[in-house]
Amino acid sequence: MKYVPDATADRQFESDNTVDRVGVDGLLSELDEYAVEQALQLREKREGEEIEITALTVGPEKAVDAIRKALQMGADKGVHVVDDAIAGSDSVATSLVLAKAIEKISAEKKVDLVMSGMASTDASMSVVPAMLAERLDLPQVTFASVVESQGEVFRVRRDGDSATEIIEGRLPMVLSVTDQTGEARYPSFKGIMAAKKKPLETWSLSDIGVEADQVGLSASWTAVEGTEARPPRTQGEIVTDEDGSGAKALVDFLASKKFI
Ligand SMILES: Cc1cc2nc3c(=O)[nH]c(=O)nc-3n(C[C@H](O)[C@H](O)[C@H](O)COP(=O)(O)OP(=O)(O)OC[C@H]3O[C@@H](n4cnc5c(N)ncnc54)[C@H](O)[C@@H]3O)c2cc1C
């Protein structure tokens, strides 16, 4: 799950066109809250099984806040990968770090299900889950709007623009979920207090066996070349219908914009 700049805050870019992720307030990407919620619901439905939920994030120091939120919601432990060399990484590099971290988590306790949001609310690439599946050599189902599980089998509904698909997959797998899966819970006071005692590990690149030159802006396949603020809205044109010509003026305006 990803820590993203708060969309309501004043967001800035650095001089190299990278997003300023340090000087701005951030939060757990809203779409990732649905993934946390689904993981918690899954565990609740499969009572009696030993299911551990690890919240993993890759991001700067403050990204730990995203993990804290997931722990407050009910996740069991947190892993934060933080290293100066990661700054500026694109999706390809980010997915490498995430995959290596998941492999390390799995070495201690096998990871059966990697769950993520459908997209981050900042970059919205929607590609990290697919890249993770490729790197981890796992099957993937993305954009799930309903998730049901029975044993190793997962039945997932995917709603497209013109059709709905029902897909079945087997664990281990990568699954990304949409905001249709159900409202994410708010952390309770009990959850907030309990989260303070939950294990939270901080790993650097060397902990997960990634070299600094495999990540960061220089190792990324894509980089932002330039950014421009959207021009402020200009005042709209007001048509005053004084002599009955208002309707025609409106039609002419819409036609000039090719709306009709
Ligand atoms: C430390 C850091 C510095 C960055 N610096 C820059 C920068 O300078 N310029 C720039 O353009 N981009 C930067 N990025 C953004 C980076 O390019 C994106 O994280 C990457 O492209 C993934 O794309 P996305 O966020 O659109 O993910 P999507 O593909 O939209 O994400 C889908 C899902 O994957 C998971 N996911 C994605 N990223 C992470 C993550 N980091 N940790 C945990 N889960 C994740 C989430 O569940 C998310 O909902 C940085 C990212 C990090 C972590």
Q: Answer for the pair 238, 249: CB distance below 8 angstroms, yes or no.
A: no
Give 121-149 pLDDT, tens digit per residue. Answer: 988 999 999 999 999 999 999 999 999 99
Instruction: Report CA-CA distances (Å) from 87 to 19, 58, 250.
Output: 9, 10, 50
Output the CA 225–ligand 1 centroid distance in Å.
Answer: 17
pLDDT at 239 over 90: no
Give DSSP secondary structure letters for 48-71: TS----EEEEESSGGGHHHHHHHH
What is the pLDDT, as a whole number, of residue 50? Answer: 94
Give 144-203 pLDDT, tens digit per residue. Answer: 999 999 999 999 999 998 999 999 999 999 999 999 999 999 999 999 999 999 999 999
- CA nearest ligand 1 atom 13, residue: 88
Atom of ligand 1 lying closest to residue 4 CA? 25
What is the pLDDT, as a whole number, of residue 191? Answer: 97
Q: Answer for the pair 73, 37: CB distance below 8 angstroms, yes or no.
A: yes
Atom of ligand 1 lying closest to residue 90 CA? 17
Residues 6+ apart with CB under 8 A from 179: 31, 34, 118
Instruction: Report CA-CA distances (Å) from 163 to 107, 157, 184, 191.
Output: 39, 11, 26, 39
Residue 172: cis peptide before it, omega within 30 degrees of 0 = yes
pLDDT at 10 over 90: no
Give 52-82 pLDDT, tens digit per residue. Answer: 999 999 999 999 999 999 999 999 999 999 9
- CA nearest ligand 1 atom 53, residue: 59
> In the structure encoding, which two tokens stand for residue 226, read together?
């330039």
Measured from CB, residues less than 6 Å from any atom of ligand 1 are: 1-2, 18-19, 21, 29, 31-32, 35, 57-60, 86-91, 94, 98, 116-117, 119-120, 123-129, 224
Output the CA 188–ligand 1 centroid distance in Å.
Answer: 28
The per-residue pLDDT of the chain, averaged, comes to: 94
pLDDT at 11 over 90: no
Give 83-125 pLDDT, tens digit per residue. Answer: 999 998 999 999 999 999 999 999 999 999 999 999 999 889 9
- Nearest partner of 139 among 126, 153, 157, judged by Cα: 153
